[in-house]
C-alpha cells in the first residue's frame, strides 16, 4: 500500500470513528422526551442517560491515550471501537432506564479510548509538511458531528424510534473493526505507567458527588442516599489531589495549575460547559414537551445555537491571531451569559420561536468566540513538553463541567418546577438557565485576569503534532479545527 493510500485509509477510518463518538455527546438530547415516555424515566434517569456517557469519557480520557501509547495505538483503538459498538447495541436493546444508563457508561469507556487515538493515529500517518491540513479536516469532522447532533437525533427519533440513534452506530462500528485492523499502521509512544490509584480515586469521587446532586431533590439533601455520597465523593476527590501531588507519573500533574493562565482558562472551560450543557439539556426538552415540536423540528430549531460555530469559529480564529485570545474568551463568555439570560427571561409556555432565535444566535456566537482560541491559551500557558497532558486535561475538565451542569441545573429545575404542566416546566427551566447564565457571567470577569499571550510567544509554544496527540474535539462541536492549529 502506497503512503498516499495509507494516509487516506487512516483518515477515513479515524474520521468515521471520531464522527460516531462525537455525535453521541448531543445526539441523545432530542431523544430525551421519547426515552422518558417509553421507559417511564424520571428526571434523574434522563440526567444519568447523558451524564453516564460524559462522566466516563471525561474521567478516562487521559487513560485512554496512555493505553494506546503503552500497548499499541492500533490495538487499543480497535479494542475501544469494539467496546463503543457493543455499548451502542446494548443501549438500543435497553428494556429499562437502568440498563440504558449502564450501556451509556460502557459507550463512554469506548469513546474515551477511541477519540484521543483517532488524532494520534492520523498524526503518525501523515507527513509533517501536510499534517496541518489533515488535522484541520479531522477537527472539522468532530465539530460537524456535534453541531448536527440534535438535528440527527431528532430526525432519527421521528423517522424510526429513539433506539435507532444507537443502532446506527452498530453497522458503522462493525464495518470499521476489520478496516482498522487491516489499514491502520501500528505505532507506540513513550512508555508510561498507568496511574491506577488516581483513576480510581477520581472516578469514585466524581461519581459520588454527581450521584448525590442528582438525587438531592427527590431523596432530601440530608438523607442517607444523598449526603454521604457527596461527602465521601468530596473526600475521595481531595484524596485524588493529594495522590497526584506525589505520584511518580500522575494522571493530572498539579504543578500545571501554578500557571495563572492554565488555571483561569480551565476554570472558564469548566463553567462555560456547566452553563451550556445544562441549559441545552433542558431547552431540548422544552421545545418538545412544552412547545410540542416534533423531535426533528426541535433539532432544527437548535441549529442557530449549535451550528453557529461553523460560521463564526474561522473568523474568531483569524481575530485571535491579531488581538490575542484573552479578549475573545472574555467576549465569548459574556455573550454566552447574555444569551442564557435572554432565554431565561423570554421563555414561556407560548413563546414564539422567533423570539428565541436571537438568544440562540447570541449564545452560538459566544460559544464560537470562546472555543476558537481556548486551546492556544491553554498550550501557551505551559512548557512545550507539557502540551499533550495540558490539552488532555482541558478536554477532561470541560466534559466534567457538562456533567455538573446537567446535574446542578437539573436539580434547580426539579426544585422549582417539573413536568406536570407547561407553566411548571418553564418556571423550573427559567430558574435553572439563570443559574447557568450567572456561572458563565462570573467567569467572563475572571477571564480578564488571563495574562496576555504575545504573538511571538504563541509562535514559540504552538504545539507540535506529537504533543497535540491527546487533544480531543470540544464536546460543544465548536472550535475543534481551530484547536489543532492555534494562533496567538
The residue that leads in pLDDT, 390 or 173, is: 173
- pLDDT on residue 151: 81
The residue that leads in pLDDT, 380 or 370, is: 370
Q: State the average pLDDT over residues 304-321.
A: 76
pLDDT band at 385; cut points 50, 70, 90: low
How big is the CA angle at 313 (ends 446 and 127), to the nearest 5 degrees?
Answer: 110
The region of weakest confidence among 12-16, 100-104, 105-109, 183-187 is: 183-187
CA–CA separation, 296 vs 292, rounded Å? 11
pLDDT band at 467; cut points 50, 70, 90: very low
pLDDT at 452 over 90: no
How big is the CA angle at 170 (ends 83 and 65), to the nearest 5 degrees?
Answer: 35
Residue 442, class by beta-carbon neighbours within 10 Å (0-12 exposed, 13-18 middle, 19+ buried)?
Answer: middle
- pLDDT on residue 379: 67
Q: State the average pLDDT over residues 162-182.
A: 92
The region of weakest confidence among 34-38, 66-70, 372-376, 471-475 is: 471-475
- pLDDT on residue 456: 38
CA–CA separation, 380 vs 375, rounded Å? 8
Q: State the average pLDDT over residues 4-15.
A: 84
- pLDDT on residue 159: 85
Are 111 and 21 within 8 A, CB to CB?
yes
User: What's the DSSP call for residue 173?
Assistant: H
CA–CA separation, 36 vs 285, rounded Å? 10
The region of weakest confidence among 247-261, 342-356, 431-445 is: 247-261
The residue that leads in pLDDT, 244 or 92, is: 92
Q: Percent of the chain having pLDDT more than 90?
A: 24
- pLDDT on residue 407: 83
Q: Percent of the chain having pLDDT more than 70?
A: 85
User: For residue range 413-434, what is the model confidence (pLDDT) as tens digits?
Assistant: 988 888 888 899 999 999 999 9
User: For residue range 76-86, what is the model confidence (pLDDT) as tens digits?
Assistant: 999 999 999 99
Q: Helix H segments across 220-244?
A: 227-244
3-class secondary structure, 474? coil
Q: State the average pLDDT over residues 321-348.
A: 88
pLDDT at 458 over 80: no
pLDDT band at 31; cut points 50, 70, 90: confident
- pLDDT on residue 462: 41
CA–CA separation, 135 vs 114, rounded Å? 16
pLDDT at 215 over 50: yes
- pLDDT on residue 137: 67
- pLDDT on residue 63: 79
Q: Output the pTM of the full model.
A: 0.76
User: For residue range 86-145, what is the model confidence (pLDDT) as tens digits?
Assistant: 999 999 999 999 999 999 999 989 988 888 888 778 777 777 666 556 665 666 676 677
The residue that leads in pLDDT, 214 or 232, is: 232
- pLDDT on residue 128: 66
Q: Which long-range contacts (CB under 8 A, 24 or more apart) does 233-238 make?
A: 233/204, 233/205, 233/206, 233/207, 233/208, 233/209, 234/205, 234/208, 234/209, 235/205, 236/201, 236/202, 236/204, 236/205, 236/208, 237/201, 237/202, 237/205, 237/206, 237/209, 238/205
Of 262, 258, 256, give the one whose Cα is nearest residue 449. Answer: 262
Please state, rounded to an integer, the average pLDDT across all residues of the chain: 81
Amino acid at each position: 500500500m502506497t503512503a498516499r493510500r495509507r494516509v487516506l485509509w487512516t483518515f477515513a477510518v479515524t474520521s468515521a470513528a471520531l464522527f460516531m463518538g462525537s455525535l453521541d455527546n448531543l445526539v441523545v438530547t432530542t431523544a430525551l422526551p421519547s426515552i422518558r415516555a417509553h421507559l417511564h424515566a424520571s428526571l434523574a434517569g434522563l440526567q444519568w442517560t447523558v451524564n453516564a456517557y460524559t462522566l466516563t469519557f471525561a474521567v478516562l480520557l487521559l487513560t485512554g491515550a496512555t493505553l494506546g501509547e503503552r500497548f499499541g495505538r492500533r490495538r487499543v483503538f480497535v479494542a475501544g471501537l469494539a467496546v463503543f459498538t457493543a455499548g451502542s447495541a446494548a443501549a438500543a436493546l435497553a428494556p429499562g432506564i437502568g440498563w440504558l444508563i449502564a450501556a451509556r457508561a460502557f459507550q463512554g469507556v469506548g469513546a474515551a479510548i477511541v477519540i484521543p487515538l483517532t488524532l494520534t493515529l492520523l498524526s503518525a500517518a501523515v507527513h509533517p509538511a501536510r499534517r496541518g491540513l489533515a488535522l484541520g479536516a479531522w477537527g472539522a469532522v468532530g465539530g460537524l458531528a456535534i453541531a448536527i447532533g440534535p438535528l440527527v437525533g431528532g430526525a432519527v427519533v421521528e423517522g424510526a424510534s429513539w433506539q435507532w440513534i444507537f443502532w446506527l452506530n452498530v453497522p458503522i462500528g462493525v464495518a470499521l473493526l476489520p478496516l482498522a485492523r487491516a489499514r491502520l499502521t501500528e505505532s507506540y509512544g513513550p512508555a508510561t505507567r498507568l496511574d491506577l490509584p488516581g483513576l480510581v480515586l477520581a472516578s469514585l469521587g466524581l461519581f459520588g458527588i454527581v450521584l448525590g446532586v442528582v438525587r438531592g431533590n427527590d431523596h432530601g439533601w440530608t438523607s442517607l442516599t444523598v449526603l454521604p455520597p457527596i461527602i465521601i465523593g468530596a473526600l475521595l476527590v481531595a484524596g485524588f489531589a493529594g495522590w497526584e501531588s506525589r505520584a511518580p507519573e500522575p494522571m493530572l500533574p498539579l504543578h500545571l495549575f501554578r500557571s495563572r493562565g492554565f488555571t483561569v482558562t480551565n476554570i472558564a472551560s469548566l463553567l462555560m460547559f456547566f452553563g451550556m450543557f445544562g441549559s441545552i439539556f433542558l431547552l431540548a426538552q422544552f421545545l418538545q414537551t412544552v412547545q410540542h415540536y416534533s423531535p426533528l423540528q426541535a433539532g432544527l430549531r437548535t441549529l442557530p445555537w449549535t451550528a453557529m460555530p461553523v460560521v463564526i469559529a474561522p473568523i474568531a480564529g483569524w481575530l485571535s491571531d491579531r488581538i490575542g485570545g484573552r479578549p475573545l474568551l472574555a467576549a465569548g463568555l459574556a455573550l454566552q451569559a447574555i444569551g442564557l439570560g435572554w432565554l431565561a427571561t423570554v421563555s414561556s409556555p407560548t413563546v414564539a420561536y422567533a423570539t428565541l432565535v436571537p438568544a440562540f444566535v447570541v449564545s452560538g456566537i459566544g460559544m464560537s468566540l470562546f472555543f476558537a482560541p481556548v486551546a492556544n491559551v491553554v498550550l501557551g500557558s505551559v512548557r512545550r513538553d507539557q502540551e499533550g497532558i495540558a490539552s488532555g486535561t482541558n478536554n477532561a475538565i470541560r466534559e466534567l463541567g457538562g456533567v455538573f451542569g446537567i446535574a446542578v441545573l437539573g436539580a434547580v429545575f426539579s426544585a422549582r418546577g417539573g413536568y406536570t404542566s407547561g407553566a411548571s416546566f418553564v418556571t423550573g427551566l427559567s430558574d435553572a438557565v439563570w443559574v447557568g447564565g450567572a456561572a458563565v457571567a462570573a467567569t467572563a470577569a475572571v477571564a480578564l485576569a488571563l495574562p496576555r499571550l504575545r504573538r511571538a510567544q504563541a509562535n514559540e509554544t504552538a504545539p507540535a503534532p506529537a504533543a497535540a496527540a491527546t487533544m480531543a474535539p470540544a464536546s460543544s462541536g465548536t472550535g475543534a479545527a481551530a484547536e489543532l492549529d492555534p494562533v496567538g
